A = this chain, B = another copy of it.
Amino acid sequence: MTADQTFDVIVIGAGSTGENVADAVVKGGLSAALVESELVGGECSYWACMPSKALLRGTEVLDEARAVKGAAAAVTGDQDVAATLERRNSFTSGWDDSGQAQWVDGAGIALVRGAGRLAGERTVVVTAADGSTTTLTARHAVAVCTGSAAAVPPLEGIDEVEVWTAREATSAQQVPGRLVILGGGVVGVEMATAWSALGSQVTLLQRGGRLLAGQEPEAGDAVAESLRGRGVDVQLNTSVSAVRKDGDDVVVVTSAGEVRGDEFLVAAGRRARTEDIGLDTVGLTAGEYLDVDDTLRVRGVDWLYGVGDVNGRRLLTHMGKYQARQAGASIVARATGEQVSMADWSPFVATADAAATPQVTFSVPQVASVGITAAQAEEQGLAHTVVRYELGNVAGSALFADGYAGKAVAVVDTERQVLVGVTFVGPGVSEMLQAATIAVVGEVPISRLWHAVPAYPTMNEIWLRLLETLKG
């Protein structure tokens, strides 16, 4: 047992969000303890962003090379699957967190290994792997950064089957022969892309009529068409009612019949990881997302923060890190008696959560979006115009790949005359997103955007085409 300790701030959960909260408060002059029961670095480093993108990158770049006449001739072999998995393993450091633990130490943060649970006001009890406990007391704040986990729906027979979640899908050391995926969101789509390219026969089951629901319809339509072209069996409007084992097979019972696979990936949403962190000791309900204000402080509990996936605002690594910076600034300011401005875009609030959350799906084609969609603008009753343009009609796209196909959709607030949403669908669009994010966040007037000349001939000439189309 370690001696009980007092810190200015206690952070539960050492994923990228927790690391950033702790780092921010330490840089602000406070002391911080960071509590982690699994790997320091969390989901993104080991079972999400990093391994999934590492799995996908080889496929992406070979597709790009095959799409350029002259270069295509050089791509005569196949992607080396073992080397691709090995590259993925190196990006996850072989699921060893010593590098990250070293970073935590170097940042002046006290790492406490074990499961952290709230035990009343500003108190966290950490239970180590050996069962010993340490009680940590926070002078100023406790930040819960325990993230989210895959939500596994209560399908008939689900307990008898060893399902994959995003964790197993991103860390598998063998290519499954037949992979059945439940859910056509980001995880389902990315894993269908990755594993089909590496040799799996993939079936993708989506309850709704479109993949990537919530994005502009162009996104899901293009990805479904592409996946089918790559041999993935995409079944839309298909719900799953039960699963069972049959020898080595998993049999998935759907509204359209049965599908057999070697592995069954459930990618049907997330749930807050708040079941077992002592929320009841502070008057909150276990298992629910934490309800926070724009400084990421839990409503009604002035010393408690919920940062990252755990608050359910935006389940994305980069938004968790963003919230961490804002929450960190708020915690430091409140600890030192400084004013915390709740005004939009102040250094203390996560205004971008609602106004300008960027997201990239690393599918083929890629989908990159920020802000609101046309449908959301409609729902919100916003005075707006939607501008659409074929990305392939831009010279830079044609140079990028023969037969380039892609779409751009921009949503313009016609009263404020600013962009409020942009979506790009197409090969290689991921790095084009930041321009849209800056335009939306910066509220740069349309009249000024005309002066932001895209370099010719890049795909970014889409900016000119969108403005011209808007002008009519």
> Closest B-chain residue to A27, C-beta based?
B471
Residues of B within 8 A of A400 (CB): 57
Within 8 Å by CB of A61, from B53, B71, B85, B351, lies B71
Given known A53-B399, A70-B58, contact A359–B431 (CB-CB < 8 A): no
A64 at interface, CB cutoff 8 A:
yes
Digit string of A42-85 for contact with B (CB within 8 Å is 1, else 0)?
Answer: 00100001100110011101101100111111111111110111
Verify if A256 is at the interface (C-beta below 8 Å from B). Answer: no
Supplied contacts A345-B447, A435-B438, 9 more A-B pairs, CB within 8 Å: A53-B457, A69-B83, A69-B86, A74-B78, A316-B456, A318-B453, A347-B447, A356-B453, A359-B455
Q: A148 within 8 Å of B by Cβ?
A: no
CB neighbours of A442 from chain B (8 A): 438-439, 442, 444, 448-449, 452
- A458 and B360 form a contact (CB under 8 A): yes
* A147 interfacial by beta-carbon distance below 8 Å: no
Complex Cα distance, B437 from A450, in Å, reads 11
Report Cα–Cα, A441/B163, bound state, in Å. Answer: 51
Residue A164, interface by CB 8 Å:
no
Across the interface, which residues of B come within 8 angstroms of A78, CB to CB?
Answer: 73-74
Q: In the complex, are the beta carbons of A58 and B68 less than 8 A apart?
A: yes
Complex contacts, A359 vs chain B, CB 8 Å: 455
Residue of B nearest to A429 (CB): B431
**Complex contact B456–A433 (CB within 8 A):** no
A59 to B322 alpha-carbon distance, docked (Å): 37
Which of the residues B430, B451, B464 comes within 8 Å of A455, measured between beta carbons? B430
Indicate if A434 sits at the interface (CB-CB under 8 A). Answer: yes
| Chain B residues near A209 (CB-CB < 8 A) | none
CB-CB contacts below 8 Å: A194-240 with B: none
Name the CB-closest residue of B to A441: B452
B residues within 8 A CB of A398? 91
Q: For A454, what are the chain B residues with a Cβ–Cβ distance below 8 Å?
A: 318, 358, 434, 437
B70 contacts A456, CB within 8 Å? no
- 16 A-B Cβ contacts within 8 A? A54-B399, A62-B71, A69-B83, A73-B80, A74-B78, A316-B456, A317-B456, A317-B457, A321-B464, A322-B451, A345-B447, A368-B455, A434-B455, A434-B460, A438-B452, A441-B449
- The chain B residue sitting closest to A419, CB to CB, is B438
B65, B325, B439, B459: the one contacting A450 at CB < 8 Å is: B325
Report how many residues on chain A are interfacial, defined by Cβ distance under 8 Å: 85
Residue of B72, B83, B456 near A73 (CB, 8 A) is B83
Q: Is the CB of A87 within 8 A of B62?
A: no
Contact A71 B49 (CB under 8 A): no
Chain B hits for A345, CB < 8 A? 447-448, 451
With an 8 A cutoff between CB atoms, is A357 at the interface?
Answer: yes
In the bound complex, how far is the Cα of B437 from the Cα of A255, in angstroms? 50
A453 and B357 within 8 A (CB)? yes
Beyond A77-B76, A316-B456, whether A71 also contacts B50 by CB under 8 A is: no
**Is residue A250 contacting chain B, with contact meaning CB distance below 8 A?**
no
**Does the CB pair A84–B70 fall under 8 Å?**
yes
User: CB within 8 A of A448: which of B441, B452, B455, B464?
Assistant: B441
With A434-B460, A459-B431 as contacts: A77 and B75 at CB distance below 8 Å: yes
A395 within 8 A of B: yes
Determine how close the nearest CB of chain B comes to the CB of A315; give it in whole angstroms: 12
The reply on A463 being an interface residue by CB < 8 A is yes
